[in-house]
Chains A and B, each alone.
Chain A
């Protein structure tokens, strides 16, 4: 069974559209994250969400909004897509207590045309 899954794997869309990426984890973890990996492979945290508290990286535009229907899911909704949003987006999860290793999903490659 896949521990952290993301859908879709690839997403191609036009500028200005709104899109969502879904993430699910079956590890029973309390904390989930979204990371963005740019074309130079640089990974940057976007959000941390532990079912009670959302920690937002202040450099993330407010066009990006995480939505968590329950503890096992953290979806990423993006409004008014821009060319610069093209990247690979990774979801991850970890146990709540302290700092723990994070388990990453396979990534979603978003291409904005």
Chain B
């Protein structure tokens, strides 16, 4: 069965600093990969997605992620964090043969220091 691991439960960065959130997946083939963000009390918003092609994908709000097949990773990055980026971030794997249902990682809570 597929699984998604986000090793960091909490991360704190200073405003203006760079950010990298880790995501590893376990799956027999190349999955479809997503990063979602959840602000407090809100639903999930898609940041970016990888289906195929260029392994570096750009998303909204200045985020990017890189798919590394050899490492089974899809890490999320941002060069300069803003206070409004404080939220919960979820990595997810989508599987066509599972009715497009998403399997989520446990989430990483990002806190931003002024």
Contacts and interface: CB of A to CB of B under 8 A. Distances in A.
A55 B102 CA distance: 13
A93 to B, nearest CB: 11
Interface in A1-60: 4, 31, 33, 35, 40-45, 48, 50, 53, 55, 57
A31 B101 CA distance: 10
Contacts of A43: 44, 90, 104, 107
Interface in B33-56: 34, 36, 38, 42-46, 49, 51
Given A41-B107, A42-B107, A99-B51, A105 B101 contact: no
Given A99-B94, A99-B95, A33 B101 contact: yes
A90 B34 contact: no
A33 to B, nearest CB: 7
A41 B108 CA distance: 10
A105 B43 contact: yes
Interface of B: 32, 34, 36, 38, 42-46, 49, 51, 88, 90, 94-96, 98-104, 106-107, 109
